[in-house]
Amino acid sequence: MRLSFIILITLFGGPCLIAQQITDILSEDQFEVFQKHSPEFRKSPNILHQAVQANAALITQFLLDEDIDPNQLDDQQLSPLHYAVQQNNSEILAVLLAAGAAVDIPSGGELGATPLMWACAKEDAKVARLLLQNGANLNAIDRQGDPVINWAAYYGHPEVLKLLVEKGVDVSVQSKHGDAGDVLLRLWHSDSLLEIFHSTSIYQSPGAEVEAIFSQTTHKDLLPLDKLLQSGDFADSRDGFGNGLIHRAASLGQVDLLELLLKHGANLNLLNRVGQSALCIAAKNGDDATVKQLLTAGADVNATDTLYALSALIGGVVGGDTSLVKILIEAGAQLDHQEYVNQATALHWAIFYQNEAMALLLLQAGANWKMSLFNNQTTTTIELAENMGMTALTAKLKGFQNHLQNLSGSWKMEQIAYLYPDTTYLIDAPAPGIFVVSPERYVIQYHPSKNNRAPFADFTNPTCEELRAAFQGLVFNTGQFHLTDSLFIAQPNIARVPGFEGARQVYNYQISRQQLVLTLEDEQYPDGTRPDWVGKISVRFTLSKEE
């Protein structure tokens, strides 16, 4: 051992450089140097994994000849075979398989992904083809219940999808993400990928008549299509993949086709097999003209299903066009709507796609950055932004947390002002009212009058008139909230008015030392509608900090 240590010092200048020298030797596949000092190098953790990652074919073969187990998992819970696939290195992949690497070895952790599942991430199919030639299970299922074909649909690479379909993959397997067709649609892949499944059970022929109608949608001359639509109730026909004619029109961005369908009574809010409306499709495509056309015609900006719950706003975020997303928000898109699979909002999707400008736009509009995702696991929006390297967004979110510290506490109502366009109605020194903020909850309670409420004559047996007088004017609600730089967005879950639970109230706020000015500007009921006063009047509360 002493001699080996001296050799290493001589070669590398000291033990602190050994790790770097191993990296250099592996990256250059210096087989002779590695072989000469292999007893020391082999002490490096997961040396076979490192060699495969470095594409060091000669050193990999040497280590396998030295009987290193090709099926060991490293600290990332991955096998050498997974790394060969990751590197898209069919040469090393073949060497590992010849040495006894298990072709379907699952990764550790929650997914348990086989190398073939990993191969689905590659644009070319050479690695996937080699794995299949060596007996890889075409229909393997991961620990989340997703088969290989769903992995391929997730990544959406045509060569791999075609290969799996040609080999006879089972497309009928359903997971919480649906089948492969659902995955393709849910992740907004192009319609051309669905065509790969035309020969499978995912495609359910709608019949010759409907097929003819869909074929006419690509023609410039719409007169033949007009005649076909007049011949029967076909305006809401669906193709073999579950998309309606109106989805086709949105996908093609054809204004004339859309007008023709509407003339024949097409359902503006028709949903496809994963709950996407035509508005969803147009929004994802960044098609401002079609989005405006659909909204003008009366399309529901929040139409979706209860299975996957994909909204037009999420589609717009995926498309990446901030100006189009502004149009959807102005049309009443629900900012905090959560889709089903990941419980993610539009803000989370913006982070998934590393679109910082989009995320900041949604925050400015009042999106709730405190909402949890991934089945209410501990991942926060701030952590998600940090993990994605979105520094400006992370700083903004941490700034909101700092604002919360200034706002937290108990505030006494000093004045209520009703701000009309042409006048202001003041209530100075109103009846006792309070606004309390904790990190997770707010409470507001006040009586919009200068006079205290009259006490009951009999506290244990008030009359109906006394109850009505006491509570008719009382305002009270409490619930969760989140902040932006200037907005306090409240989401009451307990309210004086039955049914108001689940509503949304938007306040502007300003803090100056011990004074808080809170102005109610907007209110949205749980069904998405707004009261008549919105846009006509604001209610300003002036409060002082209670020590």
- At 220, the pLDDT band (50, 70, 90 cuts) reads confident
Tokens of 107: 């990764």
Angle between helices 18-27 and 2-12 (to 10 degrees): 70
Instruction: Count other C-beta atoms under 10 Å from residue 79's C-beta.
Output: 27
Which H or E run contains 417? strand 409-419
Task: Write the pLDDT tens digit of every residue in 358-381.
Answer: 999 999 898 999 888 887 666 789
pLDDT for position 310 = 95
Q: What is the DSSP letter of 126?
A: H
**Separation between Cα atoms, residue 279 and residue 84, nearest integer Å:** 42
HSE-CB of 241 using CA atoms within 13 angstroms: 26
d(CA 52, CA 78): 12
**Same domain for 110 and 211?**
no
Flag the least confident range among 80-84, 105-109, 287-291, 524-528. Answer: 524-528
pLDDT of 2 higher than 50: no
Average pLDDT over residues 301-313: 95
Considering the chain, what percentage of its residues have pLDDT values greater than 90? 79
**Does residue 5 carry a pLDDT above 80?**
no
Q: Among 127, 146, 170, which residue terminates a domain?
A: 170
Percent of the chain's residues with pLDDT above 70: 96
pLDDT at position 471? 86
Q: Which of 117, 148, 170 is the last residue of a domain?
A: 170
Query: Does any domain span residue 108?
Result: yes
From CA 530, how far away is CA 506, in angstroms rounded? Answer: 12
Higher pLDDT, 3 or 419: 419
Q: Predicted confidence band at 451 (pLDDT cuts at 50, 70, 90)?
A: confident
- Residue 209 pLDDT > 50: yes
Residue 421: which domain range? Answer: 408-545
User: What is the mean predicted confidence (pLDDT) over 209-219?
Assistant: 91
- The SS3 of residue 491 is strand
Query: Quick check: 355 pLDDT over 60?
Result: yes
Domain holding 329: CATH number? 1.25.40.20
CA–CA distance, 349 with 361 (Å, rounded to integer):
13
Q: What is the pLDDT of residue 45?
A: 82
Spatial contact of 540 and 519, defined as CB atoms under 8 Å apart: yes
Based on the domain organization, do 257 and 133 belong to the same domain? no
What is the three-class DSSP state of 175? strand
515 in the same domain as 431? yes
Name the band, by pLDDT with cuts 50, 70 and 90, for residue 401: confident
Determine which of 259-263, 387-391, 461-465, 525-529 has the lowest per-residue pLDDT on average: 525-529
Q: What is the pLDDT of residue 152?
A: 98
Number of domains in the chain: 3
Q: What is the pLDDT of residue 6?
A: 31
Q: pLDDT at position 473, please? A: 84
In this structure, the answer to whether residues 10 and 123 fall within a common structural domain is: yes
- Looking at the domain assignment, is residue 393 inside a domain? no
Identity at 256, one-letter amino acid code = D
Instruction: For residues 423 and 307, state if they share a domain.
Output: no
CA 51 to chain centre: 36
Residue 371: the pLDDT is 86
Are 103 and 230 in the same domain?
Answer: no
CA pair distance 4, 6, nearest whole angstrom: 5
- SS3 call for 492: strand
Chosen domain end from 152, 170, 188: 170
Together in a domain, 141 and 11: yes
Q: Which pLDDT belongs to residue 140? A: 98
- Provide the pLDDT for residue 15: 44
445's CB contacts (< 8 A; 6+ apart) are 433, 434, 474, 475, 476
pLDDT above 70: residue 20: no
Residue-level pLDDT at 377: 66
**524 Cβ contact partners less than 8 Å away, ≥ 6 residues apart:** 503, 504, 505, 530
Are residues 307 and 432 both part of a single domain? no
Q: What is the largest CA-CA distance in the chain?
A: 100
Average pLDDT of the chain, as a whole number? 91
Identify whether residues 141 and 217 lie together within a single domain: no
Q: Exposed (0-12), middle (13-18) or buried (19+): which is 110, by Cβ within 10 Å?
A: exposed
Q: Are residues 268 and 142 in the same domain?
A: no
Q: Is residue 31 part of a domain?
A: yes
Render pLDDT for 454-480 as a digit per residue (tens, 0 to 9): 899 999 999 999 998 888 889 999 999
DSSP 8-state class, residue 178: B
437 pairs with which residues across the strands? Answer: 409, 442
Going by the DSSP 8-state scheme, the letter that residue 137 receives in this structure is: -
Residue 155 sits in the same domain as residue 213: no
Characterize 488-516 residue by residue with b for buried, 16 or more Cβ atoms within 10 angstroms of its Cβ, and e for exposed. bbbbbeebeeeebeebbbbbbbeeeeeeb
pLDDT of residue 4: 36
Q: Does residue 400 form part of some domain? A: no
Residue 317 has pLDDT above 50, yes or no: yes
Amino acid 102: pLDDT:
98
Q: State mean pLDDT over 278-290.
A: 96
Under DSSP, the state recorded for 155 is H
Flag whether pLDDT at 17 surpasses 70.
no
Residue 378: the pLDDT is 63
Per-residue pLDDT for 510 more than 50? yes
The pTM of this model reads 0.81
- In this structure, is residue 274 part of a structural domain? yes
State whether residue 493 is helix, strand or coil.
Answer: strand
Domain at 472, CATH number: 2.40.128.280
Q: Which residue do the tokens 């910082």 mark?
A: 356
DSSP string, 208-261: HHHHHHHHHTT-S--HHHHHHHHTTT-TT-B-TTS-BHHHHHHHHT-HHHHHHH
Which whole number is the average pLDDT over 179-195? 93
In-domain check, residue 351: no
Contact present, 509 and 522 (Cβ < 8 Å): no
Say if 394 falls within a structural domain.
no
pLDDT digits (tens, 9 = 90+) for 140-166: 999 999 999 999 999 999 999 999 999
SS3 199: coil
Does residue 456 form part of some domain?
A: yes
Pick the most confident of 40-44, 182-186, 469-473: 182-186
Query: What band does 21 get if pLDDT is binned at 50, 70 and 90?
Result: confident
Q: What is the pLDDT of residue 18?
A: 59
Looking at the fold, whether 11 and 148 belong to one and the same domain comes out as yes
Cα separation, 444 vs 450, whole angstroms: 17
Mean pLDDT calculated for residue range 311-335? 96
